Amino acid sequence: MPDDLTLPEPVGSFPAAGQPVPQHWSRCFGCGDQSPAGMSMSFTAGEGLDVWGRLEVAPRYQGGPGVIHGGILSTAFDEALGMVCRSIVDGPVVTGHLEIDFARPIPLGSVLEFHARIDGSIRRKVYASAEARIVEGPTADPDVVVATSRGLFLTVTAEHFEKTKDFVDGVPERPFGTSSI
């Protein structure tokens, strides 16, 4: 992380502390309410440049026997870190780099709480970090951090999605999306 980062003021569009942070896109796999196979994560604004997120670990998120798939957990962190960028960016961001440390197994049936914060920004780059705790479920302990993450997000313009925006319901000539099978 660069040592010349700044911590901007929150943007006016970011909700007040304790208020829901709305989905950024209804079809988003992480937070969208029109993504039936998605994760339906919800978010609340924190006191500063931070958000709280919630994920119910459904049985279909299974990786190893009885535990969450690491890719699902990575997706949840991606979403939480992207969401906190909204505290300082009034426009779209995309993930440039994402890293995860998996500290404890997370059983299916858990409810995970994410706390994500802005570490700083410079030019188009926003650095954020987060941790996750199990707050409900068989091994719930709000004092134990079960995973941590850091990410770099880049602000982009609407033009970034220009070539893909017509594919929101799938690629028409390819009924199974972009797969060749």
Ligand X SMILES: CCCCCCCCCCCC(=O)SCCNC(=O)CCNC(=O)[C@H](O)C(C)(C)COP(=O)(O)OP(=O)(O)OC[C@H]1O[C@@H](n2cnc3c(N)ncnc32)[C@H](O)[C@@H]1OP(=O)(O)O
Rounded to a whole number of angstroms, the minimum distance from the CB of residue 177 to ligand X is 16
Rounded to a whole number of angstroms, the minimum distance from the CB of residue 65 to ligand X is 28
**59/165 with CB nearer ligand X:** 165
**24/115 with CB nearer ligand X:** 24
**108/149 with CB nearer ligand X:** 149
Structure tokens, 74: 């990575």
Per annotation, catalytic residue among 4, 33, 50, 78:
78
By three-state DSSP, how is residue 157 classified? coil
Respond yes or no: is residue 141 known to be catalytic: no
Rounded to a whole number of angstroms, the minimum distance from the CB of residue 13 to ligand X is 9
**40/95 with CB nearer ligand X:** 95
DSSP 8-state code for residue 39: -
Beta carbons of 19 and 10 less than 8 angstroms apart: no
Those residues with Cβ within 8 angstroms of residue 82's Cβ, 6 or more apart along the chain or in another chain? 24, 30, 93, 95, 151, 153
Binding site for ligand X (CB under 6 A): 24, 78-79, 82-83, 85-86, 92-97, 123-125, 152, 154, 156
Q: How far apart are CA 99 and CA 120, in angstroms?
A: 17
Rounded to a whole number of angstroms, the minimum distance from the CB of residue 73 to ligand X is 14
| Torsion angle defined by CA atoms of residues 27, 33, 36 and 39, in that order, rounded to the nearest 10 degrees | 90
Structure tokens, 136: 């409900």
| Residues labelled catalytic | 78
